[in-house]
């Protein structure tokens, strides 16, 4: 790659990276894994930069790579649980508990999303976080628009069921507490 391409890639990486990290985090649920996924994504984008820049597709290509990597992450985790090892002591590292543990806002919904199958979750993240159309979501995931529609519909149904059940439990507990008091 020439200097101009390098500069263009650096600009793209600097601009796209924060958003990619956040998307990766929503896809995999792990902040460290999210940074890793994005790093590998950018490496792959860098490798094919000239071609994808010519096609004016860097963002879409990066998103597609990222979703594929996230799917691989889930397959790997299901197949052989990775034993976490925290590296500490290097400046700039942020080893430590997941920041999401520090707050409970919409925790039930987050937990419910975590429990969805990877594909279904990816559809929801791309549709409702990336705000992609059904066609763009299908392109990113390499599937049909019909598949995206059905996955999104079933995913929302499952989230709704989970939340409805939890709210019912809350009401039951509240009623019981009222009786006791």
Partner 1 sequence: MTEQIEHELTAMFRDRAERLDVLPAPSRAQVRRGTLQAGLALASVLAVLAGVVLAGARLADGAGSGAVTSTTASGQRALADLSKALRKTLAARMVATTTTVGVPSKKNTKAPDLGFSAALGRGETHKTTYDGRAGLAVETGPDGQVETLAVGDVLYVHTDQRNDRFLPVTIGWVRYTKAQGTSTADWRRQEVQRAIPGLLQLYTEPPLSVDERNGRIRLSGPDLAGMQPVTVVQLDSSGMIRSVTSRWLLTMANAASDRLDRVTFRPLRGAMPSIEAPSPANVISSDDYGAEKANYEAQTNCPTPPPSTAPDGTVVHTQVDCLPPPPGATPAPTSTTPR
Residues that bind partner 1 (CB under 8 A): 6, 10, 13-14, 17-18, 21-23, 25-26, 31-32, 34-36, 39-40, 42-43, 46-47, 80-90, 92, 94-97, 99-100, 103, 105-106, 109-110, 113, 124-125, 128-129, 156, 159-160, 163
Distance CA 100, CA 144 (A): 33
Distance CA 17, CA 70 (A): 15
The nearer residue to partner 1, 36 or 53, going by C-beta atoms, is 36
The nearer residue to partner 1, 71 or 159, going by C-beta atoms, is 159
Beta carbon of residue 170, minimum distance to partner 1 (angstroms, whole number): 16
The nearer residue to partner 1, 106 or 176, going by C-beta atoms, is 106
Residue 11 CB contacts under 8 Å (≥ 6 apart), including other chains: none
3 state SS of 73: helix
Distance CA 84, CA 78 (A): 14
Beta carbon of residue 142, minimum distance to partner 1 (angstroms, whole number): 22
Beta carbon of residue 108, minimum distance to partner 1 (angstroms, whole number): 10
For residue 106, how many C-alpha atoms fall within 13 Å in the half-sphere facing its CB?
A: 5
């Amino acid at each position: 790659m020439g200097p101009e391409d390098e500069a263009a890639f650096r600009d793209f990486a600097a601009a796209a990276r924060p958003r990619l990290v956040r998307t990766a985090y929503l896809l995999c649920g792990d902040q460290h894994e999210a940074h890793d996924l994005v790093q590998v994504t950018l490496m792959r984008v860098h490798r094919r930069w000239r071609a994808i820049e010519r096609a004016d597709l860097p963002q879409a290509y990066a998103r597609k790579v990222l979703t594929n990597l996230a799917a691989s992450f889930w397959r790997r985790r299901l197949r052989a649980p990775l034993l976490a090892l925290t590296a500490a002591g290097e400046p700039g590292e942020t080893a430590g508990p997941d920041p999401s543990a520090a707050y409970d806002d919409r925790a039930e919904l987050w937990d419910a999303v975590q429990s969805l199958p990877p594909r279904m979750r990816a559809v929801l993240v791309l549709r409702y976080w990336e705000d992609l159309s059904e066609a763009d979501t299908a392109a990113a995931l390499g599937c049909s628009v019909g598949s995206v529609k059905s996955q999104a519909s079933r995913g929302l149904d499952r989230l709704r069921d989970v939340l409805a059940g939890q709210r019912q439990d809350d009401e039951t507990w509240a009623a019981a507490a009222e009786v006791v008091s």
